[in-house]
Amino acid sequence: MIEEHRLRTLINCEAPRRANRREEPGGREHAREGRCPAPRQPDAGEVGHLLNMLLEAYDGRRPAAQVRALVAPEVYAGLSGPRRPRPRHRTQTIHTCTPAPEVVEACARVEADGRAFALAARFTRTPTGWRCERFALLKPQQPAKPTKRAA
């Protein structure tokens, strides 16, 4: 018995293999120039997965080069470079909103070493997919040290 194997694209993850074609009046096919379907809106679970990948790069548990295609150059600059070991950050709750059709903003509560932090991120739609334009892990400020006053 011969088994047949077929490759199929992952609809939400891959670009189409050939140009979309449409039929013109008269029965001729015409290739659409440079048109790929726009990436669909990510749900909270997918945004959470992206945030976890970025946190792994931030913590040094994932090479920053692995997320380079997912982030803006400014975000990549903040994730790459020499890093000292950091505690593992874990997302607890994630909230998303869509302030514009091409934008998804996310905030999350993140825990590390028994402390809670806030995470804010902004994703924009590009022709190739969603890209993180802003990524900020907001940590509480250290208490101010008392200054000695001269008597």
* Domain segments of the chain as ranges: 44-138
Residue given tokens 């548990």 in the structure block: 61
Element (H, E) at 45: helix 44-59
Q: Are 32 and 24 in contact (CB under 8 A)?
A: no
Q: What's the fold here for domain 44-138?
A: Nuclear Transport Factor 2; Chain: A, (3.10.450)
More confident site: 75 or 29: 75
6: its two tokens: 């077929």
Q: Mind listing the pLDDT tens digit for each residue in 86-119?
A: 788 888 899 999 999 899 999 999 988 888 899 9
Per-residue pLDDT tens over the stretch 70-84: 999 999 998 887 777
Residue 127: band (very low, low, confident or very high) from pLDDT cuts 50, 70, 90: confident
